[in-house]
Amino acid sequence: MSAKPSFSLFVSKSPYDSRNAESAITFCHAAIQSGYVIKQVFFYQSGVQNGSDYLSVNTDEVSVKSRWSELHHTHNVPLYICVTAATRRGILYDDVSKGGKSNLASDFEAVGMSEYFAALHDTSVKGIQF
């Protein structure tokens, strides 16, 4: 029996510079409702800003970080941040901050790019970039 078809998403834009993050979230929900699995969401380049605990939105705006967290909790979708891209953009986590305060949102995990490519090694996983 073949594995259930799944997707690994690659998000490379910051949450408020474009609609990429919102499009990716909408895609995830539609894919899950259609019976697909979201293997992971990997944030790279400016996309790592999606996982910053310092994101602040006005009361009349949608919190993209909250929507990612909801996807994570509701559907158990791993949210991975590229550790190198995050560090370059001032997003610190426990391993790097050396006792300083982490500003990586709790539902996101800092990993290496190999995590993204390992998921694509499975032929049932399709990569899609936002």
Average pLDDT taken over every residue of the chain: 89
Q: Which position has the higher pLDDT, 96 or 81?
A: 81
Which domains, ranges and CATH numbers included, belong to the chain? Answer: 6-129 (3.40.1260.10)
Report DSSP letters for the chain, one per residue.
-PPPPEEEEEE-S-TTTSSHHHHHHHHHHHHHHTT-EEEEEEE-GGGGGGGBTT----TTS--HHHHHHHHHHHH---EEEEHHHHHHTT---HHHHTTSPP-B-TTEEEE-THHHHHHHTSTTEEEEE-
- Catalytic one of 21, 82, 85, 92: 82
Strand partners, 43: 11, 81
Residue 82 appears among annotated catalytic residues: yes
pLDDT digits (tens, 9 = 90+) for 32-77: 999 999 999 999 999 999 999 888 888 888 889 999 999 999 999 9
Question: Is residue 99 very low, low, confident or very high in pLDDT (cuts 50, 70, 90)?
Answer: low
CA distance 42 to 33: 21
